[in-house]
Structure 1
Amino acid sequence: MLKCVKIVQYKNFNIASLKLANPVLLAPMAGISNLPYRRIMKEFGAALVFSEMVSANGLIRDGRRTLELVRSCAAEKPLGIQLFGSEPGVLAASVRHLEGAGDLIDLNLGCPVNKVVRSGAGSALLRDPNLVAKLIGALRKATDKPLTVKIRSGWDRRSINYLDIGRIAEDCGADAVTLHPRTRAEGFSGSADWEQIGRLKQALGIPVIGSGDIFNADDALRMLQTTGCDGIMIGRGGYGNPWLIRNILDRLAGQPERPPSATEKLRVAERHLRFMEEDIGAGKTLFEMRKHLCWYSRGMADAAHFRQVVNHATSLEQMRSLMRNFFARNENQDAGHHPAT
């Protein structure tokens, strides 16, 4: 890793016909990247946001319910929709069920979750390059929208094949490839091997997007500088921290980072809660916002106690009161001076 990160000059880049304003993308994350979360991250500058992972089978069998995962609004455009499945015909048909939803289609070839892998989808597909070619080819024939794939390094350390899968994706009509350089067996353990992103970029003629272990602006600039990738994808580093995107864009523009005050954190958390309530109702919001508030409070004084009490809130009114009291107590303190608890 470089000790000193230089300013990386970047240009807007395109994924086929889709023009992106900057190289920072929000990852598709099951249970996280719903519409309210995407709206918050978009407001902080994400050039492209992705839906949660959507089942191709679900779109065909229970289209209306599954389409809730891709409910959108004009403020978050452009929106990428990530699909998972293991049958070419089903994937092609699922795209037709999407009709006018989304501006880009992404195929998941990297999810390590057992439930997805057991169905033959996600990272399980890395073990069957011939099927990968058929899936991408079927999607390419079914849609004129930009088409991307998200992959891992391979199934395990003995079967690293990201270069082969990347070439297959390009040959079959994909417009960009995102690489999370860990194997399925590694999950999220250890460190992402960014050198693999650089090798994939050198091997392909289409844009390559790097993913994995971007937790601060220095990480982002290092990935862009050392791999030459066209874009970066923010995942876990953005939990409760949309300021990560702002910091990256500030640094890319040669500007200093702007740490958020407790008041700003409260404002964004309340806006997130309001978006959530508008989208899924009070009952579900009370449950879903707990994890986000735990993330928003990281590194602040008395965060452990706040997490404990907010996880037992019984109404949105109580949750809001707990939020306001907690962030008010932290207002005049520098969050960076307090260890995460």
Structure 2
Amino acid sequence: MISSKGLFYNDEKTKLLLNTENEQIPVAAQIFGNDIEAMSFAAKELSKTSPIIDINMGCPAPKVVKNGDGSKLLLNLELAGDIIEAVVKNSQVPVTLKMRKGWDDNNIVAVELAKIADSKGVKAITIHGRTREQFYTGEADWDIIKQVKQAVNIPVIRKWRYKNQRRCIKNV
């Protein structure tokens, strides 16, 4: 996961994360950020060497969220949509989106964000069936994944734990 601002400001630690020499190829570039200019720059630069750009709007980590990045964007769908549009426009390769069910039980936005992503040109969505508030605990909401799948015309990928594979296939 690459910080768009880190890339934009030529941060040395960020540049180290770009080394994919020992990775299996192809390697997609996953970017996060809340600044349209930095996200546009990251898309433009990383699409020169990566076969896919993945926008992360699902990361619940406090150090990411406190800066307004990752799953914090689930609270600002207008900005999320503008970021998606800018990344798609500036990328030479397909763009995908990673997202969550919502911020918390009072802010379930998965279907709405999925529709925005589809309308802006995203080629696939990966959804985590939990809210940011849940992090990685509790039960995943299989129904919201099904709703997202029914709401868009692009592939929907369920982020899951292996032990839940059969249940997910049955319910989604």
Look up the SS of the partner of 2:83 in the other structure: helix
Report the alpha carbon displacement of residue 133 of structure 1 after superposing the two structures with TM. Answer: 0.8
Structure 1: gaps of 5 or more residues = 1-52, 228-341
- Specify the alignment match of 1:259 in structure 2: none
- Specify the alignment match of 1:286 in structure 2: none
- Specify the alignment match of 1:181 in structure 2: 129
Cα contact 2:29–2:46 (8 A) shared by 1: no
- Specify the alignment match of 2:168 in structure 1: 223
Q: 1:158 aligns with which of 106, 111, 119?
A: 106
- Specify the alignment match of 1:89 in structure 2: 37
Residues 100-109 or 158-167, more deviating? 100-109
Report the alpha carbon displacement of residue 199 of structure 1 after superposing the two structures with TM. Answer: 1.3
Could you list the runs of 4 or more consecutive aligned residues of structure 1 that deviate by over 2 angstroms after TM superposition?
62-65, 95-101
Distance in 2 between residues matched to 1:63 and 1:115, nearest whole Å: 17
Q: 5 Å matches for 1:116-265?
A: 116-212=64-160, 214-216=161-163, 219-227=164-172
Give CA deviations for 1:170-200 in whole Å, capped at 9, x if unaligned.
Answer: 1111111111011111111211112211111
- Please say which structure displays the higher CA radius of gyration: 1
TM-score (norm. length: structure 1): 0.48
Structure 2: gaps of 5 or more residues = none
Look up the SS of the partner of 1:106 in the other structure: strand
Cα contact 1:59–1:94 (8 A) shared by 2: yes
Q: 5 Å matches for 1:1-341?
A: 53-73=1-21, 76-98=24-46, 100-212=48-160, 214-216=161-163, 219-227=164-172
Distance in 1 between residues matched to 2:12 and 2:46, nearest whole Å: 10
Residues 68-77 or 178-187, more deviating? 68-77
Q: Provide closer, same or farther for how the CA distance between residues 159 and 147 of structure 1 changes in structure 2, counting only shifts above 3 A.
A: same
Distance in 2 between residues matched to 1:75 and 1:188, nearest whole Å: 26
How big is the alpha-carbon RMSD for the aligned residues of Structure 1 and Structure 2? 1.7
Which AA in structure 2 matches 1:215?
Y
Report the alpha carbon displacement of residue 224 of structure 1 after superposing the two structures with TM. Answer: 2.7
TM-score (norm. length: structure 2): 0.92
Report the alpha carbon displacement of residue 120 of structure 1 after superposing the two structures with TM. Answer: 0.8
Q: Provide closer, same or farther for how the CA distance between residues 136 and 152 of structure 1 changes in structure 2, counting only shifts above 3 A.
A: same
Give CA deviations for 1:236-291 in whole Å, capped at 9, x if unaligned.
Answer: xxxxxxxxxxxxxxxxxxxxxxxxxxxxxxxxxxxxxxxxxxxxxxxxxxxxxxxx
Cα contact 1:60–1:97 (8 A) shared by 2: no
Distance in 1 between residues matched to 2:90 and 2:162, nearest whole Å: 36
Residues 157-166 or 183-192, more deviating? 183-192
Which AA in structure 1 matches 2:120?
C
Report the alpha carbon displacement of residue 75 of structure 1 after superposing the two structures with TM. Answer: 6.2
Distance in 1 between residues matched to 2:118 and 2:135, nearest whole Å: 25
Distance in 2 between residues matched to 1:181 and 1:130, nearest whole Å: 22
Look up the SS of the partner of 2:96 in the other structure: strand
Cα contact 1:123–1:155 (8 A) shared by 2: yes
Cα contact 1:63–1:97 (8 A) shared by 2: no
Distance in 2 between residues matched to 1:172 and 1:103, nearest whole Å: 19
Distance in 2 between residues matched to 1:131 and 1:139, nearest whole Å: 12
Distance in 2 between residues matched to 1:205 and 1:83, nearest whole Å: 23
Report the alpha carbon displacement of residue 74 of structure 1 after superposing the two structures with TM. Answer: 8.1
Distance in 1 between residues matched to 2:16 and 2:68, nearest whole Å: 24
Look up the SS of the partner of 1:182 in the other structure: strand
Which AA in structure 1 matches 2:113?
I
